[in-house]
Structure 1
Amino acid sequence: MRFVIVTGLSGAGKTGAIRSLEDLGYFCIDNLPPTLIPKFAEVCYQTDGKISKIALVIDIRGREFFDALFESLKHLEEKEYSYEIIFLEAKDEVLVKRYKESRRKHPLAPDGRILKGIELERRKLNEVKYKATHVIDTSALTVRELKEKVDRIFGDEAQLENKLMVTVLSFGFKYGLPVDSDLLFDVRFLPNPFYIPELKPFSGNDQEVKDYVLSFKETQVFIDKLTDMLVFLMPNYLKEGKRQLIVSIGCTGGRHRSVTIANEMHKILENIGVKVNIEHRDINEDVYKSGNKL
């Protein structure tokens, strides 16, 4: 089991760090009172590996509870529970600037100077920093760079190699655009099987419609160009810390052309080793609207 305690100075990036750990599959709890750490650790260790990665944010927001941290850590050591501490810090001027930009009050100086709160917090956390397994100064780091550091420390090799989840989504324009799309493509330039009586009852999942849609040169050119674009974009999205990519492909009703193209793209991406899902949002909408049964 990997048991991680995230702590450090207010404004130094603990929220970004815990989100990165959550993306890596950690079970995360923010602002857990330190007195509860031993009991929580005991429960996790009794799950027989079902919960194998835990991350807790423990910081000065706990006020008087924070003083119990060392007692709780001592209890973990007595039980021979291994743990790691990641301590985040930044220069005073950087923290002051972040607080001024966010217009938030420092927890140790709610009605006073931010700098006084930072100085007091440094003194209180000095012993914790000394015990830390990993110390990260975020003064010059962007959110993406902090994410990369956390990934390198706490991510396993398999996650780091293939951590972008792609969803190929077919839809019908007449039922509205998918609100969560990252990339959206319109295939209404292709001939519509809806107007061919013998094809209308079928969908892009059926061979008859698939053969028809894929028979056009324009379809093959489009699929080739879209594949090239995605192959170029995916590693660049990964570099920017993106975890999920929604590629939406739409036609008029979301039943024929978009389904066929989405299925083809799903197959192509899967064949080149991409972690990919397929969804057909509106494939049955026209059927239900017309009162027909599948």
Structure 2
Amino acid sequence: MPTVELVSFGYLHGDPPAAHLTLDLRHHFRDPHVSPELRYMTAHDAAVRQTVRSTPGIPALIEATADAIVAFTRGPSAGPVRVAVGCAGGRHRAAAFAMALKPALADEGITATITHRDLDKPVVDR
């Protein structure tokens, strides 16, 4: 069985990690950071996960990303597949997206791990 590693990160904390597929959620999906009640929360909080998942376009992107990952795992290489998901700070959109992607992959019979590179870093003032 192929291994899939999901890595969430924030562009404001450094370069994206090396990956087979990199998603940039910064410009097309609303940022929970702009809501004062969500700013200091993270994707570990249900309110953040719900806000991200209810963003128009996110459910379709989760499905499309899962399909793309399935295609990578069926390629001729038996190596692991790494997917990087980025947003501005790495605390909200990217982490919540990765958390939602993992069960979508499980529905396809793929076990994934998640690493949140920047989830626990301080909020970036913008």
Check if 1:165 corresponds to 2:3: yes
Instruction: Report the 3-state secondary structure (helix = DSSP H, G, I; strand = E; otherwise coil) of the residue aligned with 2:39.
Output: coil
| Runs of at least 5 residues in structure 2 that lack an aligned partner in the other structure | none
Contact 2:10 2:87 in 1 (8 A): yes
Check if 1:208 corresponds to 2:44: no
Check if 1:284 corresponds to 2:120: yes
Contact 2:21 2:83 in 1 (8 A): yes
One of 46, 56, 60 as aligned partner of 1:221? 60
Give per-residue Cα distances to partners, 1:242-271, cap 9 Å, x unaligned: 411110000000000001100011121123
Check if 1:246 corresponds to 2:85: no
Partners of 1:286 and 1:246 lie apart in 2 by 25
| Higher RCO (Cα < 8 Å, 6 or more apart) | 2
Shift of residue 174, structure 1, vs aligned partner: 1.1
TM-score of the superposed pair, with normalisation by structure 2: 0.89
Shift of residue 220, structure 1, vs aligned partner: 1.2
Bigger radius of gyration: 1
- Corresponding residue for residue 267 of structure 1: 103
Partners of 1:281 and 1:264 lie apart in 2 by 17
Higher helix share: 1
Partners of 2:4 and 2:72 lie apart in 1 by 12
Trace 1:47-58 onto structure 2 (pairs within 5 A).
none
Instruction: Report the 3-state secondary structure (helix = DSSP H, G, I; strand = E; otherwise coil) of the residue aligned with 1:198.
Output: helix
Shift of residue 166, structure 1, vs aligned partner: 0.6
One of 56, 59, 70 as aligned partner of 1:231? 70
**Which one-letter code corresponds to 1:183 in the other structure?**
L
Partners of 1:228 and 1:235 lie apart in 2 by 11
TM-score of the superposed pair, with normalisation by structure 1: 0.40
| Runs of at least 5 residues in structure 1 that lack an aligned partner in the other structure | 1-161
Identical aligned residues as a percent = 29
